[in-house]
Amino acid sequence: MREGKGPSIQRLLDFGAALLQSLKSEMQKKFYITTAIYYVNGAPHLGHAYEKIITDIIARARRSLGQSVFFLTGLDEHGQKVQQAASEKGISPQAYCDEMAIQWQTFVARLNISNDDYVRTTQPRHKEVVKALLTKLHDQGDIYQAPYRGWYSARHETFLTDKDLRPDGTWDPAYGEVTELVEENWYFKMGQHQEWLVQYLESHPEFVQPDYRRNEVLGFLRAETLEDLCISRPSSRLSWGIPIPFAPDYVNYVWFDALVNYLSVPASMGDPATALVTGATATGASIWPPDLHVIGKDILKFHAVYWPIMLQAAGLPLPRQVLAHGFWQKDGQKMSKSTGNVVDPIAIIDEWGVDAFRYYVVRELDIGPDGNWTDEGFRQRYAAELANGLGNLVNRSLSMLRKYRAGRIGMVSQELADDAAEAVRGVEVCLRENRLQAGLAAVWTLVNRANLYVEQTKPFSLAKDPTQAKRLDEVLYNLAESCRVLAVVLWPFIPDTAQRIYAQLQVCGEPSQWRNSAWGGLEVGHETGEPIPLFPRKDLPPKA
Ligand code: MSP
């Protein structure tokens, strides 16, 4: 204690210093955002693409708005199904995963996803952290051994639950003989956290979003008793998993393993907040805890119940938010490969471009409810909103500037400045609240305003009247500048198109910084380039 200062003053000083320290680390902390990790044995489809795209838009928006971001996506590679698929192909599970991973990583690239890292649960960095967490929980007495009793299908080499029963209470003959089996296993003491989790969810309404999903979790937790979680599988039954360090004849249950991916990457990078689990010296960037887990509604229980309890038990700060999106259907029906009722994102991208795909899924479906893909709906939005809306605006603004002024900006004007500022503000509010569909609608208020402005001011008529030369300069400025502002606010959603607008305007750099959405970026004398259609019109097939 310093001389002359009483204990209460010292306490105040200590409090101030601690506050400053936590503010400092909060300011240094990156915005950490994740998608789920995808089963490596599945084929990438519309639902997976949607999740990656909405997460990418949130990540890009945060970067544009000045935050440091760490965006993680990846693959879930252990488990029975992978083991089976590999043995059917006659290759090792690892070789099978490596083969499939190429397809998944290409998928990410085709969607233009800006992830900072790509985690695979077979990577040593991940396996080490899973083992460290299991060891810690075991040493603390949070993991114990007990018999597991259940219905076992030898043909499928798996335990069945009541959910697998047919409506008449019998097992599907496809399971073969189903017998009751008792097996020693390892359990994580999850049940004891039930009361705490209810209180946590009640006092942190932002933790699970949308609200109705949070209510579902609370409803479940209030109505049912939370059981301890069986976290092991005997390696005699399942060998393709992470060995349990204190029980070498067992591998870790895949969901426990998979959830830890969110922790293993920051931990392997030396994040100070995770040293508690790894015991490693903390030297890396501050990422933990995750700011946002973006997942589908079907895996909410794992993320909003199991995961926070695992972290709480380990003494780690909890993720700040779990955002659950809905499920896509096609033509009002569940997508299924066997019936051919699927949307192939890559085929759509090949035909229409990545941004048409990104635009449609976000404009069509808000984050939360279920969505329905129709080819007709996609074509309509493409034609009306992209080709005739945005594409036409950029094309005619630049064409007229070239035709009447050789592409040169003649004067600066503020006529559409307020409309643009209002749209930008609207989009920003939506992006900060992860309301992406509303964000795109707000962008289109400026697209529509500027298109209307062309109709109202008729630059093609002004060009015929030499006394209107100044007015024409003014109008052309407002159009070109609106296009420039649009590029900046569109960047998170459709980055390729935003970049192409910048390129056609011959503005240097990337439209990736929100501050450049302020009106007045184009200067007198600036020369814009050739317009190239952003969304070429396609002839629609005749209606049946
Ligand atoms: N591997 C687990 C997740 C582990 S996360 C620690 C898994 N994988 S998955 O491949 O089945 O699903 C990955 C994500 O895609 C999940 O968030 C899931 O909700 C989402 N979707 C799967 N099908 C979907 C639709 N039809 N529509 C929208 N999203 C869907 O679960």
Say what the pLDDT of residue 10 is: 73
Closest residue (by CA) to atom 8 of ligand 1? 38
Helix (H, G, I), strand (E, B) or coil at 42: coil
* Best residue among 33, 34, 39 to mutate for probing ligand 1, ranked by most atoms within 8 Å of CB: 39
Question: Is the Cβ atom of 47 under 6 angstroms away from ligand 1?
Answer: yes
Peptide bond into 210 cis (omega under 30): yes
Say what the pLDDT of residue 3 is: 44
User: How many C-beta atoms surround the C-beta of residue 86 within 10 A?
Assistant: 20
Under 8 Å between Cβ of 437 and 502: no
Question: Is the Cβ atom of 277 under 6 angstroms away from ligand 1?
Answer: no
Say what the pLDDT of residue 338 is: 81
Say what the pLDDT of residue 1 is: 35
Closest residue (by CA) to atom 10 of ligand 1? 38
Closest residue (by CA) to atom 7 of ligand 1? 38
Query: Rounded mean pLDDT of the chain?
Result: 94
3.30.70.100, 1.10.101.10, 1.10.730.10, 1.10.150.300: which CATH number matches 358-517?
Answer: 1.10.730.10
List helix spans (H) across 491-538. 495-505
Question: Is the Cβ atom of 505 under 6 angstroms away from ligand 1?
Answer: no
The fold of the 28-325 domain, in CATH, is Rossmann fold (3.40.50)
Under 8 Å between Cβ of 229 and 256: yes
Under 8 Å between Cβ of 526 and 481: no
Question: Is the Cβ atom of 373 under 6 angstroms away from ligand 1?
Answer: no
The Cα 544–Cα 540 span in angstroms is 11
Looking from the CA of 536 toward its CB, the CA atoms found within 13 Å total 6
When pLDDT is averaged across residues 266-280 and rounded to a whole number, the result is 89
Atom of ligand 1 nearest to the CA of 327: 27
**Residue 543 pLDDT > 60:** no
Atom of ligand 1 nearest to the CA of 76: 1
Under 8 Å between Cβ of 332 and 340: no
Closest residue (by CA) to atom 12 of ligand 1? 38
User: Of 428, 420, 411, 487, which Cα lies nearest the Cα of 449?
Assistant: 420
Atom of ligand 1 nearest to the CA of 294: 17
Peptide bond into 266 cis (omega under 30): no
Dihedral, CA of residue 312, residue 314, residue 320 and residue 324, to nearest 10:
-80
Beta bridge partners of 9: none
Query: Which residues, 6 or more positions from 189, have their beta carbon under 8 angstroms from its beta carbon?
Result: 142, 143, 144, 228, 313
Say what the pLDDT of residue 276 is: 85
Query: Which residues, 6 or more positions from 541, have their beta carbon under 8 angstroms from its beta carbon?
Result: none
What is the bridge-based pairing of β-strands 208-209 and 322-325? parallel
* Best residue among 295, 331, 337 to mutate for probing ligand 1, ranked by most atoms within 8 Å of CB: 295
The Cα 40–Cα 120 span in angstroms is 9
Under 8 Å between Cβ of 33 and 292: yes
DSSP string across 307-345: HHHHHHHHTPPPPS-EEEE--EEETTB--BTTTTB---H
Closest residue (by CA) to atom 18 of ligand 1? 296
pLDDT (tens digit per residue) in 141-194: 999 999 999 998 888 777 898 889 999 999 999 999 999 999 999 999 999 999
Peptide bond into 511 cis (omega under 30): no
Beta strands in 52-138 (DSSP E): 69-76, 117-120
Cα 80 to ligand 1 centre (Å) = 17
Under 8 Å between Cβ of 91 and 138: no
pLDDT (tens digit per residue) in 87-143: 999 999 999 999 999 999 999 999 999 999 999 999 999 999 999 999 999 999 999
pLDDT (tens digit per residue) in 210-260: 999 999 999 999 999 999 999 999 999 899 999 999 999 999 999 999 999
**Residue 5 pLDDT > 60:** no
Who wins on pLDDT, 417 or 10?
417
Cα 186 to ligand 1 centre (Å) = 27
* Best residue among 256, 305, 311, 327 to mutate for probing ligand 1, ranked by most atoms within 8 Å of CB: 327
pLDDT (tens digit per residue) in 362-409: 999 999 999 999 999 999 999 999 999 999 999 999 999 999 999 999
Dihedral, CA of residue 424, residue 430, residue 436 and residue 442, to nearest 10:
-40
List helix spans (H) across 163-260. 194-203, 211-223, 254-259
pLDDT-derived band at 20, boundaries 50, 70, 90: low
Cα 47 to ligand 1 centre (Å) = 7
Which residues of the chain does CATH 1.10.730.10 include? 358-517
Which residues of the chain does CATH 3.40.50.620 include? 28-325
Q: Is the pTM of this model over 0.75?
A: yes
Q: How large is the greatest C-alpha to C-alpha distance in the chain, in angstroms?
A: 93
